[in-house]
């Protein structure tokens, strides 16, 4: 299985809204924990170590290329 780089989520805006809504009323630490748990749950679902490694690299490289928000 190869990592899919193409949009693949039906109703992407609704998914994003659901993701944001799930974090409402959580502290920053709770929201971070929820997102970490979500990553682990979805990683377990994917299960393919090659795909997961590619996704980790892609996310890290993208994060390094994006300037951090200044609070």
Is position 13 within any domain? no
Give the number of domains in the chain: 1
Is position 37 within any domain? yes
What's the domain range around 39? 26-57
Higher pLDDT, 1 or 38: 38
The angle formed by the CA atoms of residues 63, 41 and 62, to the nearest 5 degrees, is 10
Res 70 pLDDT > 70: no
pTM over 0.75: yes
Is position 44 within any domain? yes
Please tell me the distance from the alpha carbon of residue 35 to that of residue 62, in angstroms, as a whole number.
Answer: 17
Q: How far apart are the first and last CA of the chain?
A: 39
Is position 36 within any domain? yes
Is position 65 within any domain? no
- Mean pLDDT over each residue of the chain, to the nearest integer: 93
């Amino acid at each position: 299985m190869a990592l899919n780089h193409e949009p693949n989520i039906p109703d992407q805006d609704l998914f994003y809204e659901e993701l944001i809504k799930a974090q409402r009323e959580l502290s920053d630490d709770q929201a971070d924990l929820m997102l970490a748990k979500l990553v682990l749950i979805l990683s377990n679902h994917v299960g393919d170590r090659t795909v997961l490694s590619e996704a980790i690299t892609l996310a890290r490289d993208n994060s390094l290329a994006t300037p951090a928000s200044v609070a």
